[in-house]
RNA sequence: GCGCUUCUAGCUCAAUUGGCAGAGCAACGGACUCUUAAUCCGCAGGUUCUGGGUUCGAGUCCCAGGAGGCGCACCA
């Protein structure tokens, strides 16, 4: 029997099940429907076969009788996972299961490998991540997560569009990567005879868009960082960055609260969620606290940037926080915060007023010397967002980047370079601006209660597979 | 990159702690016209991740390597 190129008139299982939900046991209709999907279970019963057909929207039972269905013998010998199209009438069985009583059916694609145990599926994480297509069929909750991921991103777009933000796209291949402290992936453009980096952030080009007149602009895009893998880090991940002219970091606090609460509500119809067993209330407004206050709360130590570097270093020593000889007071303070405070912040909380030393793109604090107007939002002990009042003074920005470049020359692989294109743009004038970055994967993890980033990335990065294992039917066919 | 840990049939897991590698599901053959992880009968299935070593004997102990998970480090 030839496998057809198309199968027309298919209705979704969800649609069919919804329409005929009212049928009583043993009630038969002469309503013809066509459905298609994978055969996920087979129960032979002599001259009668029950099958579970699953499509993207759900599952429905097929009732296949020798007397009334074509090609009955072949149907009996279908394999779990085979794609078929079936047409028939809708009925409910004696035992109450809504079914399609099949009259005609056709094999659309055989499954030469199975999806594991029909009850337990697959649980080996290596198979689940390497062969996500198997995972998606074997584990319903996996499909659910990726459906939710799509909904979350959609809700973010709708939210920003409603606020008047314009979505743009900026280069992934960049001559001078910048906008974050991270090691890039480097590639080569043959025709240009140039090494290019894959972007590590969206920041610099989006600011140039602001100079160009976009007053509210955002991009949701993949960025790439050449770092180790972990349950919370994939080398490519999705960032949202947005910039709003005439605003500052306090505007960004409100915006991120609304954005996250909105996505959460879209998904759960509430803004209170459970994450890894802990209840988290995302209802705005969120707590705001300075880094110094939070360090004091968790350690009882009072530090600030009016202190000498050595005094702060002494506190770090007392707290068993390591730092390097070249670190200034701001870097040491950040180290203290990250080791003693952030891991214990359940949040949501906006941690604000960062040391200037560790924030080369943020604007000087309007009243606190040595600080910039920057905050990070922490939820469930993890940084979810990072935002500042953006530095828009080209002279100051040049000096900051030159410091970065000298750090880079001294061996700091994560320091930035001087990006002349960016500086030239700033010289044209960038309005006062609030900017915000949100890790979308982290947001999805939070809202879907996942602790491993691989669970929210359809095809996460893994080491190259060196051996391919055989499966059963491929050899016997 | 470092530490801990896991790897047995296609899948999910056993194997008396060093003594003949096994079960359920899937597959294959058969019975059964209302099943729901159907049931029943039969049959087949293995480089125990790879390579060394210790031992009369290794899935089990030792060494090296591979892949995964968790933690640390870096970061989001």
**CATH code assigned at A39:** 2.40.50.140
Q: Which residues pair with A278 in a beta bridge?
A: A275
Residues A90 and A237 in one domain: no
How far, in Å, CA of A250 to CA of A363, rounded?
A: 13
Q: pTM for this one?
A: 0.91
| pLDDT tens per residue across span A61-111 | 999 999 999 899 999 999 999 999 999 999 999 999 999 999 999 999 999
Asked if A121 CB < 7 A from strand B, the reply is yes
The nt closest to A454 (CA vs C1′) is: B69
Q: Does residue A442 sit in the same domain as residue A384?
A: yes
User: Is strand B within 7 Å of residue A234 (CB)?
Assistant: yes
Distance, Å, A71 CA → B57 C1': 56
Report d(CA A43, CA A36) in Å as an integer.
18
Q: Is the separation of the CB atoms in A113 and A123 below 8 Å?
A: no
Query: What's A191-222 look like in SS3?
Result: CCCEEEEECCCCHHHHHHHHHCCCCEEEEEEE
What CATH number did the domain enclosing A220 receive? 3.30.930.10
Question: A78 and A190: one domain?
Answer: no
The number of beta carbons lying within 10 Å of the beta carbon of residue A182 is: 17
pLDDT for A1 = 65
Q: Check whether residue A212 and residue A355 sit in a common domain.
A: yes
∠ CA A238-A242-A246, nearest 5°, is: 170
A360 CB-to-strand B distance under 7 Å: no
In a domain, residue A134? The reply is no
- On whether residue A302 sits in a domain, the answer given is no
CA proximity to A90, closest of A11, A32, A50, A39:
A32
Q: Which residues lie closer than 8 Å to A192 by C-beta, 6 or more apart? A: none
The DSSP output letter for A324 is -
Structure tokens at A73: 């013998």
- If asked whether residues A86 and A149 sit together in one domain, one would say no
Q: Which protein residue lies nearest to nucleotide B25, measured between its Cα and the C1' atom? A: A117
Tell me if A315 is assigned to some domain: no
Q: Which of residues 256-295 of A touch strand B (CB under 7 A)?
A: none
Residue with tokens 């038969």: A28
Could you tell me if residue A428 is inside a domain? yes
pLDDT tens-place string over residues A265-313: 999 999 999 998 889 999 999 999 999 999 999 889 899 999 999 999 9
The answer to whether A84 and A39 have CB atoms below 8 angstroms apart is yes
Q: Are residues A27 and A104 in the same domain?
A: yes
The answer to the question of residue A330 being in a domain is no
What pLDDT is stored for residue A167 in this prediction? 97
**pLDDT band at A392, cuts 50/70/90?**
very high
Residue A419 in any domain: the answer is: yes
- Provide the pLDDT for residue A474: 38
CA dihedral A254, A258, A261, A263 (to 10 degrees): -140
Calpha distance A70→A187 (Å, rounded):
57
Under 8 Å between Cβ of A57 and A12: yes
CA–C1' gap, A242 and B35, in angstroms: 56
Between residue 435 and residue 464 of chain A, the positions with Cβ below 7 Å from nucleic chain B are 437, 439, 441-442, 451-454, 462-464
Q: Which of residues 369-408 of A touch strand B (CB under 7 A)?
A: 382-384, 386
Q: Are residues A162 and A90 in the same domain?
A: no
Q: Which residue is nearest to nucleotide B11 (CA to C1')?
A: A116
A384 is a domain residue? yes
Does residue A261 share a domain with residue A187?
Answer: yes
* CA-to-C1' span, A318 to B73 (A): 21
Q: Does at least one atom of strand B sit less than 7 Å from the CB of A42?
A: yes
pLDDT band of A477, cuts 50, 70, 90: very low
**pLDDT reported for residue A465:** 62
**One domain for residues A93 and A215:** no
pLDDT tens by residue, A448-471: 999 999 999 999 988 876 544 433
Q: Residue A173's beta-bridge partner residues? A: A198
The Cα A64–Cα A240 span in angstroms is: 50
Domain count, chain A: 2
The residue whose CA lies nearest the C1' of nucleotide B13 is A120
Domain housing A223: 140-286+347-455
| Helices and strands counted in chain A (H then E) | 14, 18
pLDDT reading at A422 higher than 50: yes
- Say if residues A400 and A372 touch (Cβ distance below 8 Å): no
Q: Are residues A63 and A144 in the same domain?
A: no
Asked if residue A342 has pLDDT above 50, the reply is: yes
Q: Are residues A74 and A34 in the same domain?
A: yes
Same structural domain, A248 and A104 = no
Number of Cβ within a 10 Å radius of residue A438: 24
Return d(Cα A312, Cα A294) in angstroms, integer.
16
Q: What is the pLDDT of residue A473?
A: 37
- Which nucleotide does the CA of A25 lie closest to, via C1'? B34
Strands (E) located in A246-330? 272-275, 278-281, 287-290
Which residue is associated with the tokens 């074997």?
A138
In a domain, A470, yes or no: no
Closest to A275 in 3D by CA, of A148, A143, A146, A450: A450
């Amino acid at each position: 029997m030839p496998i057809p190129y198309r199968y027309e008139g298919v209705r979704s299982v969800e649609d069919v099940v919804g329409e005929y939900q009212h049928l009583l046991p043993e009630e038969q209709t002469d309503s013809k429907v066509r459905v298609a999907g994978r055969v996920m279970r087979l129960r032979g019963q002599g001259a009668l076969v029950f099958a579970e057909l699953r499509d993207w929207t759900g599952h429905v039972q097929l009732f296949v009788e020798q007397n009334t269905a074509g090609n009955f013998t072949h149907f009996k010998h279908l394999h779990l996972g085979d794609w078929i199209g079936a047409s028939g009438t809708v009925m409910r069985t004696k035992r109450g299961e809504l079914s399609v009583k099949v009259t005609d059916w056709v094999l659309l694609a055989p499954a030469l490998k199975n999806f594991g145990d029909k009850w337990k599926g697959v649980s080996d994480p290596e198979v689940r991540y390497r062969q996500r297509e198997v995972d998606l069929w074997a584990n319903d909750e996996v499909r659910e997560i990726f459906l939710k991921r799509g909904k979350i991103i959609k809700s973010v777009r709708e939210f920003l569009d409603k606020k008047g933000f314009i979505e743009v796209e900026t280069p992934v291949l960049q001559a001078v990567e910048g906008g974050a402290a991270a090691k890039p992936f480097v590639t080569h453009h043959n025709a240009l005879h140039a090494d290019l980096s894959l972007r590590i952030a969206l920041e610099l080009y989006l600011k140039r868009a602001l100079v160009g007149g976009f007053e509210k602009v955002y991009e949701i895009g993949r960025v790439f960082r050449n770092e180790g893998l972990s349950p919370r880090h994939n080398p490519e991940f999705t960032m949202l960055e947005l910039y709003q002219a005439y605003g500052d970091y306090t505007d960004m606090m409100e915006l991120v609260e609304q954005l996250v609460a909105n996505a959460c509500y879209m998904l759960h119809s509430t803004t209170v969620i459970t994450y890894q067993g802990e209840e988290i209330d995302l209802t705005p407004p969120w707590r705001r606290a300075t880094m110094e206050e939070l360090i004091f709360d968790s350690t009882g130590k009072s530090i600030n940037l009016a202190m000498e570097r050595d005094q702060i270093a002494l506190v770090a020593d007392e707290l068993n926080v390591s730092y390097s000889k070249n670190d200034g007071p701001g870097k040491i303070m950040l180290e203290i915060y990250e080791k003693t405070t952030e891991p214990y912040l359940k949040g949501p909380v906006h941690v604000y007023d960062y040391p200037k030393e560790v924030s080369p793109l943020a604007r000087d604090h309007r009243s606190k010397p040595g600080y910039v107007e920057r905050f990070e939002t922490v939820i469930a002990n993890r940084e979810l967002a990072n935002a500042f009042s953006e530095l828009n003074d080209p002279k100051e920005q040049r000096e900051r980047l030159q410091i970065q470049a000298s750090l880079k020359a001294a061996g700091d692989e994560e320091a930035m370079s001087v990006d002349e294109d960016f500086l030239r743009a700033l010289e044209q004038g960038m309005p006062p601006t609030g900017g915000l970055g949100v890790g979308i994967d982290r947001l999805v993890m939070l809202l879907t209660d996942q602790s491993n980033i691989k669970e929210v990335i359809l095809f996460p990065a893994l080491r190259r597979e060196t051996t391919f294992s055989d499966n059963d039917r491929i050899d016997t066919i």
